[in-house]
Structures are given as C-alpha cells and as structure tokens.
Chain A
Amino acid sequence: MNINLKIWRQKSDQKDGGLRSYRLENIDPNISFLEMLDILNIKLVKEKKDPVAFDHDCREGICGSCGFMINGRPHGPQKATTVCQLHMRAFNNEDNILLEPFRAESFPVIKDLSVDRKSFDRIISSGGYVAVDTGDVIEANSIPVAKEDADEAFLSSACIGCGACVAACKNSSAMLFTAAKVSHLSLLPQGEKEGKERVVNMVATMDEEGFGACTNTGACSAECPKEIAQTNIARLNREFIKSKI
C-alpha cells in the first residue's frame, strides 16, 4: 500500500514546529505502524536528513513509552491499542495520515513526536505508594484480599502512564491517570491507611503541574489503550470528599 504522511517536525520546545509531508510506497499492510516509521527513518538517514524522533521501547504495548496523535486521536484509530501495537492494515491504500505530538502544557515537546511526561512521575512521587520499607513487612497470606477487590485493583493498576488520557482531554486533565493510582491503592487494605493524605497530595500535585480540571467528558477513558474505566474518577472523587470529612 501507499501512504501520505504529514508529520509534525519541531527541533525542540524552544523552537517553532511545522508539518512536513512524506510519501511511502509499497508498504506491507502487515507491518506495525512503528515499523513503517522505521522505514521512513532509514530512508531519511540515507538521504542525510534528520530522522523523525519518536518515543518507543517495548513495542508490546506495556512500557508506555510510545504515543502520539494519529489523525487527531491518541495512539490512532484502533480501540484499546497503543501505537506500537497498531498495524498498517488498520489503514487504506493512499490514506493521508497526520502525526502530531501529544499536546498539553504539562507535556512539553522534546523533539518532533517526543514529549516530556515527567510530570506524571511527580504525581506518583507525591503519594502513589504504600509507605513500607524493605523487610519491614508481614507474611503475604496474612493479608487476605477479596478476589473482586484484587481484580478491580489490578484493572486500575494496569495503567501504563502513556499520557493518552491527557492528550484526549479538552482540558488536558490528568484525572484518569491520577485516579487509576488512587483507586488501585484505595481498593486494597495495604493502601487504606494513607488514603486521605494520598488523594489530597496527588490532586494538589496534579494541579501544580498545570493539568486542567476534569469535566467528566469521558474522552480519557474512551481513548485509553488499557481501557482504564471512568469509574476510577468517581472513586477518586469519593476518596477526596472522604478526606475532607
């Protein structure tokens, strides 16, 4: 298949960027989207041109490194799929494909399609953990956890921190990301004790980092490659209100 790419090129956060057009011919529909970009980059290198910078690593949809906008959607057109798991068969011959970085004030552009999401780490640092030192613990099976709770906590903890939720949100809110961590820990007995402090601190950091407010549009959850449910946000709100009582 042949495709026409328009890709956002930007040297750094300090410089202006713009769209550039590239055409690729005879692309095998069974290769992955990132393999298609590899082909483009090898071509650019051979022409002594600067290849397109993008983040990626595991290419198994789990490390959360990859992610950019494809035709206006984070991670592209396929539901519950990271860019690295997207294949060219999701597109048609002669399609125009527009690639842009995730756009959010809290995710400054590093170069081209690569953005800086360290603000997510700072949210986790402010409370996304159980305060327990190595070795200072009790026997694992002495803390039974109902299967439903463990399963629910697992679903929340499956977040890969890619930032698609922020990119999908018109307010650039990090609510789904934060709520997933708050939910994971508040669903388990281990995380309960610090619950109040955790939610207050994590929400405060989220605000300090410049993420927008949540207006419950649900775009985050709809675009989340790991299908983190919107109920997590309701749970965060409940935890937040509880902390005020």
Chain B
Amino acid sequence: MTQFNLFSKAPDGELYTKWEEYKSNLKKLTPKEANKYKVIVIGTGLAGASASATLAENGFNVHAFSFHESPRRAHSIAAQGGINAAKNYKSDGDSVMRLFYDTIKGGDFRSREDNVYRLAEISKNIIDQCVAQGVPFAREYGGLLDNRSFGGVQVSRTFYARGQTGQQLLLGAYSALSRQMENKKVRFYSRHDMLDVVLVNGKAKGIVTRDLISGKISTHSADAVILATGGYSNVYYLSTNAMASNVTANWRAHRKGALFANPSFTQIHPTCIPVKNDFQSKLTLMSESLRNDGRVWVPKKKKDQRKATDIPEDERDYYLERIYPAFGNLVPRDVASRRAKEVCDEGRGVGPTGYAVYLDFQKSIEEKGEDFIREKYGNLFDMYQNITDENPYKTPMKIYPAVHYTMGGLWVDYNLMTTINGLFSIGESNFSDHGANRLGASALMQGLADGYFIVPHTAMDFLAKEKPLEKDITDMPEFVDAKKKTEEEILKLMKVDGDLAVDEVHRELGKIVWDKVGMARNERDLKSALEEIPKVKEKFWNQISIPGDDKDVNQELEKALRIKDFIELAELMAHDALDRNESCGAHFREEYQTDENEAKRNDEEFKYVAAWDYSEEENPKLYKEELKYKNVKLKTRSYK
C-alpha cells in the first residue's frame, strides 16, 4: 500500500505576495508548445468550463466530457444568490484580507490559509473577467455594479444577477468554451459518463467512459486529467443538487489512489422548501439572499396551529435575531440550519409536518414596498408559489434546511493536484477552500478561481515538465484492463435480477445518511450507520432490477452506476464523522457543544484535514494534514 505524506506544497513567504511570486516561477509553455499536449477535463460546470476554455486559449488541446447534453446544463446553472469579490465598491471597509478572514472563520478554522488567501485575492479578477464576457450583473442607476450582503459577513460584497447568478456566470464560461469549440481547441463529448481513471506508471493518463446513448465503453488517453465533477450531496437522496449530480468520477479516482478529504463536511442550507411527501424527488433551495429582507421566526408556543398571519407580534420568536443580535438573520448557514432544527425538535415548527420555520417578508414589504421585493427576488417568489401553491407576498414562506453543498472532496495540494500525479480536482469536487462550512456566494467564486485563474497555471507547470504523448496510448494494457473491468462491472449489474428500482435503494440509503450523518451526529448513530449501510449495499447487489439493454439508452443503469458509489461513500462519511471527536462548522457532534449549544472545536487534537485512503478489504486508512495558522488567530466562532 502506498504511504502518503500530505504536504500542501504551498511555498513559504508572505501570505500577501505568495501566489503572485509562485505563479511567476511556474514553468510556462508557448501556445505552440502547448499544442503538443492533450488535457482531459471532466465536467463543464463553472470550474470545468472555465478551465477548459482557458487551457484551450493557452494552446492546449482540450477534450471536455459531460454527462449532460450541453455544457450549459451543468448544475452550477442553478446557483441563485451571487458571487463574492473583495472589490470594496461600497467603501464599507471590505478588503482581500477581510474576505480571507471571513472565509477562514466561516469555515470554522478547518481550511488552509494559503489557499483561502489566494481565493480572496483572485475574487476581484473573476468579476472583471465575467463583466468582460458580457455577464449581465445587477447594476445601480449610475451604471456601476450593485452588491448585496450574504450570511456570515457584515459587508456588502456579493455580485448578483437577480436570483440567477449561477446561470449567468455559467453562460459566460459556456460562451468562452463554445468559442474554443469553434476554434477546434476543445472537443466536447456530450452525454458521456466517466467510469474510471487510467494510471500508467502511477500517473493519470486517461479515462474510461460510457456513451449514454450507444452504451459504448471507450478509453481516452491524455497528458493530464482534470476532474471538475461537483459535489456529492445526492448521497442523501434528497438534496438541492440536480438529479444526476454524482460522486462517481471522484470515487473512481479515489479507488485508484486519490485521497478523499473531510467527506463528512456537508453543508445543510437553511432556506429550502420543506419536504412534503414520500414521492419527493428533490428539494428546492430558496436563496440565502432572501435573509437580507426576510425574518426567520416560529411561534413562541408549542404546536401553535394558528395561521401565521393570525399570530400577533409578541407571540412570535424571531430566534436568530434573539440569539445573535449582531448578525441576526444573516448568521452563517450551519448556525441557521442547526437553530431551525432545534426549534422544530422543541415542537415549535410549523406546517403540516412540524418541520419548517417561517421566513417572513412582511416588514420589508411594508418598509420598502412590494415592487422593491419583486425586483430583487421575483423569480424566487414565483418558484416558491409554483411549488407550494402559496403566495409569499401575502403569507410567510415556510422553509427548512436541506443538503446543498459538500465542502469535502478529493484532497489536493496548492496546485490543485490530487495524490495521483497528473490528476487535478477543481471546484466543488475538491476539498480545498471552505473548511468545515462554506459561506454563501463562495462556491461560484471558488469554481471560477480554480478554473480561470489557478489550474491553467499549475497544470501548465506540470505539463511543461512532462514529455507529451506522441500518440494515442489506449492500446496499452492499463487501458485495456480498465475497460474490461468496467464492462464486467456493468455486466454484473445487469445480471442482478431483483424487484427493486434503484431509486428505492437510493432513498433508503439517503434516509440513513440524513438521520445519522446529517445536521447533528453522535457516536451511537454513526456506529449504527456503519452497520446499516453494508446492508443497503447487499440489498443493492442482490435486489435491484435494471430492465433493457446496456448497449442502449438506459437511465436505470446510469443511476445504478452512481448509487453503487454513493453507498461506498456513505460509509466513508460515517467513518470520518466518527473520527472527528469535536464539533466544527457543519460537523456538529452532539457530544461536543458549549452550554449555549454552539459547536465546540478541539484545536489541540483535530486541527487537521482528514484524508482517507481507500481499501477494498479493510477500513479506510486515515492520513492527516496538520493545518498551520500563521496569519489568523484561532478563535471561537461567534456571531453574537
């Protein structure tokens, strides 16, 4: 078994100048030299599309793969609220340092200083880039860019395009990608799943894919592979992720030697439309930006059956404003979610299930007018009404936390390279910048920072030291073997002749993970999850049914291949949550809390990134990357 020595490779020196200095020392290739190399990029969301476009502009030949029909359909498109940047346009005291500090603090001191500072620094370039592409950000009457606030911060630094910021940013990256497709520098493979990464002499040199239309299994060789495959929230079955978002590419890389970091750090977003029945297929997020104008409350009395509008002011508990007077409704996501769960567990939740709280706009509508609210959040209000059949201009929204984002992911160094040489991971698919909790409007920022401004430099440096492949090498035994194994696995799945739809098994898995590795965790539940998940695995391999042919469009087979990996990931999440005997950010262990029910960190013992190595026979093996803080003081996170 390989032994790993986790070293971030971040250079020494001043935090403020480190990245610029480092970047200028990286090896460069001219476009003519770069033209000899081929790079595979998996995923075409913000990270993948921006990386593909930029690498192609630099002269590389990019082969971009997506399970979607078009790059524009990647799930980044659904991000609503905005993107952070330390532009300080509002002159409210914002700076790179402040964004850096907010992000480190928001992540409850479990992320790497060097990476986070670089992210904050690059945030400004991102806005310049997107504006140049024609991204129609919201503007003030003077024609300058507008900003709004987001949770966990006290400045206004979030750029937005109504409630469709992700869509507009992705369309920007997609347009840059399309331009390179037209230039023949990017070849796009639509409707392809990546099912394995191929290593030659320990380096990532290609992939195995399944064409989702013909069912054909193919191999592709390249000089480097970049994974931009997003997060794994769908391990919970119900999440705000798109239906097909999955962990498969990452998991297959993990099985080949890429360590998986902090898998149990999953973000539960406080403002989602509550679950309504057993047929529910996914959850819908209501942007956090709504907390700028909406006030969160529940009745003071338990099991209060009155209509929201019939409950007088003095019988309402605006609990976030009460507990956190400084940040009020704008506390970070993990805090807002946990407090919502707490008031509902007390029996003060609202709605038919008792698992919802109100998000009330009445005061803002009275003060600023309905038109103002419509202008800012119109599409979100429409979406809410469409789903719930209730008018949020007249009656408060009902919301409840739901799984939304995964801070964990493949372990990467400062170059965003995984523990497999030549295999990079960018955007949500890596673990790098958000620690134990991500602040709102930071996912878009990280995806684009990695894709436009980091990996093009670090991958070029890596490639400049590599001899380019002279030809396609998919006839090498490593490729032939990987392809054969993939085909055998599919055959094995097709042969399971049970009577369960894969969705049914997925739902069962999701319930275990939500109940036991969800918003609050404890040793007993985590141990019981570790007993229950293998049973789900057994059920999956013995009782599912996949009708039809694998050499054809087969959406059930697609799902089965993904759920198989989610089951294995779920076990790893439980191991990780069990190992971490502390509470930090989104990882709330009930055994470790303060008298005021806040997360109790244990910096002495757990100030590390937990990176796990895969093992087929034994329990996963833990490697630790100690986190060093030279520029910030470790503090108890407080939003009071």
Give A residues with C-beta under 8 Å from B: 11-12, 28, 30-32, 34-35, 38-39, 41-42, 44-46, 48-51, 53, 55-65, 80-81, 85, 87, 89, 110-111, 114, 116-118, 120-121, 124-126, 128-135, 137-141, 143-147, 150-151, 153-154, 157-158, 160-161, 184-185, 188, 190-191
Contacts and interface: CB of A to CB of B under 8 A. Distances in A.
B134 A62 contact: no
A87 B387 contact: yes
B284 interface: yes
A112 to B, nearest CB: 8
Contacts of B143: 144-147, 150
A149 to B, nearest CB: 9
Nearest to B451: A134
Contacts of B125: 135
Contact of B129 (A35, A60, A62, A134): A134
A116 B214 CA distance: 13
Contacts of A41: 501
A183 to B, nearest CB: 11
Interface string B66-107: 001111111101100000000101000000000000000000
B134 A65 contact: no
Nearest to B497: A48
B164 A158 contact: yes
A44 B279 contact: no
Given A57-B242, A145-B139, 20 more contacts: A11-B552, A31-B277, A38-B503, A41-B501, A55-B69, A62-B77, A64-B73, A85-B386, A87-B389, A111-B553, A121-B178, A121-B188, A134-B456, A140-B130, A143-B132, A144-B139, A147-B139, A150-B137, A150-B143, A190-B133
A56 B74 CA distance: 11
Contact of B78 (A63, A120, A129): A63
A46 B501 contact: yes
B168 A154 contact: yes
B389 to A, nearest CB: 7
Pairs of residues from A and B, 6 with the lowest C-beta to C-beta distance, nearest first: A144-B143, A129-B175, A137-B132, A154-B136, A140-B131, A57-B242
A129 B89 CA distance: 27
Contact of A65 (B73, B176, B382): B73
**Interface class of chain A by DSSP:** loop
A65 B138 CA distance: 26
Given A130-B132, A145-B143, A60 B383 contact: yes
B70 A117 contact: yes
B145 interface: yes
B213 A110 contact: yes
A53 B181 CA distance: 29
Contacts of A28: 277, 279
A56 B243 contact: yes
A13 B206 CA distance: 31
Interface in B262-286: 276-277, 279-282, 284-285
7 contacts: A30-B277, A57-B242, A58-B242, A62-B167, A63-B77, A118-B70, A125-B179
Contacts of A143: 131-132
A131 B179 contact: yes
B139 A45 contact: no
B77 A45 contact: no
Interface string B141-173: 111110000000000000001101001100100
A135 B168 contact: no
B487 interface: no
Of B128, B276, B277, most buried by chain A (CB within 10 Å of CB) is B128
A147 B176 CA distance: 24
B236 to A, nearest CB: 15
Contacts of B553: 12, 53, 110-111, 114
Contact of A140 (B69, B145, B242, B383): B145
A190 to B, nearest CB: 5
B57 interface: yes
A134 B134 contact: no
B392 to A, nearest CB: 16
A218 to B, nearest CB: 22
Contacts of B279: 28, 31, 35, 38-39
A65 B69 CA distance: 8
A185 to B, nearest CB: 5
B547 interface: yes
A61 B383 contact: yes
Contact of B386 (A87, A121, A133, A137): A87
A89 B167 CA distance: 28
A150 B162 CA distance: 11
Contacts of B504: 42
B128 A138 contact: yes
B263 to A, nearest CB: 24
B175 A60 contact: no
Nearest to B71: A121
B391 to A, nearest CB: 15
B297 interface: no
A113 B456 CA distance: 39
Contacts of B87: 140-141
Nearest to A190: B134
Given A129-B175, A157-B168, A81 B386 contact: yes
B175 to A, nearest CB: 4
A166 B132 CA distance: 30
B73 A57 contact: yes
Interface string B236-280: 000000111000000000000000000000000000000011011
A116 B212 CA distance: 12
A231 B421 CA distance: 53
A153 B505 CA distance: 45
Interface in B341-392: 382-383, 386-387, 389
A192 to B, nearest CB: 10
